[in-house]
Amino acid sequence: MSFSVVIPARFGSSRLPGKPLLEIAGKPMIQHVWERACQSDAQQVYIATDDERIMAAAKEFGASALMTSPDHVSGTDRLHEVIEQLGLDSQAIVVNVQGDEPLIPAAVINQVAANLISEHGAMIATLAEPINSESEFVNPNAVKVVTGHDSMALYFSRAPIPWPRESAGRGNVAPIARLALRHIGIYAYRAAFLRQFVQWPPAALEEAEQLEQLRALHNGVAIHVDEACADVPAGVDTPEDLQAVRELLGNA
């Protein structure tokens, strides 16, 4: 199985400035993410950043790092620049691992890459997990995904989809758990898709939901969705998240 991992890492963050370099158990957060990715079967793991401080830190702990434009509006755009810098073949598989997920299991990185390699009709593969409560189902911060019989995505939404007309509000989440999954933001891409993606304007659905993957669906791209083979802890978005990870990794 041949694939590469790219970890986009921006210095700017409204809630946690300099997030990739925040210390957890004696290491910057981005090092934890990189070490997890290196435990996967990836042939290469790259950190893609727009900041010299992150570049310097990456070099210090031995990572391969690439400087990319500060003008990218998304991690997908940054990935495109990386595949062009590396000159990757159109069928090359690239896994995007978020730079704020210091607890991501290597198993799910392997899983999403293997799924895309085996699903020749898909240009993207991603993962999801069961929805366990009605509060999660209606939470707009929990992105829902529904799929067809072939495990290809039909739609992603921040809204509760599909809406269980008869059971909503009655505490019966079984129909929900069977029909919808909570999306996990890890993706495997074919390099050819990334080259297409940056040529397309944002889609109306994408702008309405603020979900970039809807641009791919709008343009007829097949997205394979599988249930994650391991629990994927939430990333670090807030000071509370950071404290929780520090306590878990012994740096309270």
Question: Residue 45 and residue 74: Cα distance in Å, rounded?
Answer: 19
* The pLDDT of residue 177 is above 80: no
Taking the C-alpha atoms of residue 102 and residue 23, their distance in angstroms, rounded to an integer, is 11
Could you tell me the pTM of the whole model? Answer: 0.92
Amino acid at 61: F
| pLDDT the model gives residue 54 | 95
Banded model confidence at residue 27, pLDDT cuts 50, 70, 90: very high
Tokens 């921006």 identify what position?
Answer: 10
Strands, DSSP E only, in the chain?
Answer: 4-9, 23-24, 27-28, 44-49, 64-67, 93-96, 124-130, 144-147, 153-157, 181-190, 223-227
How many distinct helices (H) and strands (E) make up the chain?
Answer: 10, 11
Q: Look up the CATH number of the domain holding residue 87.
A: 3.90.550.10
CB 109 within 8 A of CB 97: yes
- Domain membership flag for residue 250: no
> What does 1-56 look like in DSSP terms, one character per residue?
---EEEEEE-S--SSSTTGGG-EETTEEHHHHHHHHHHTSS-SEEEEEES-HHHHH
| pLDDT tens per residue, range 33-42 | 999 999 999 9
In a domain, 72, yes or no: yes
Asked if residue 242 is part of any domain, the answer here is no
pLDDT, one tens digit per residue, over 214-225 is 999 999 999 999
Q: Is residue 149 included in any domain, yes or no? A: yes
Q: What is the mean pLDDT of residues 170-174?
A: 60
Q: Is residue 240 part of a domain?
A: no
pLDDT of residue 172: 63
Q: How many beta carbons lie within 10 A of that of residue 249, not counting itself?
A: 15
Compute the average pLDDT of residues 170-176.
Answer: 61
Count of domains observed in the chain: 1
92: containing domain: 4-231
Within a domain: residue 87?
A: yes
For residue 244, being part of any structural domain is answered with no
Whether 252 maps to a domain, the answer reads no
Cα separation of 216 and 55, whole Å?
A: 31
Chain segment 51-84, per-residue pLDDT in tens: 999 999 999 999 999 999 888 887 788 899 999 9
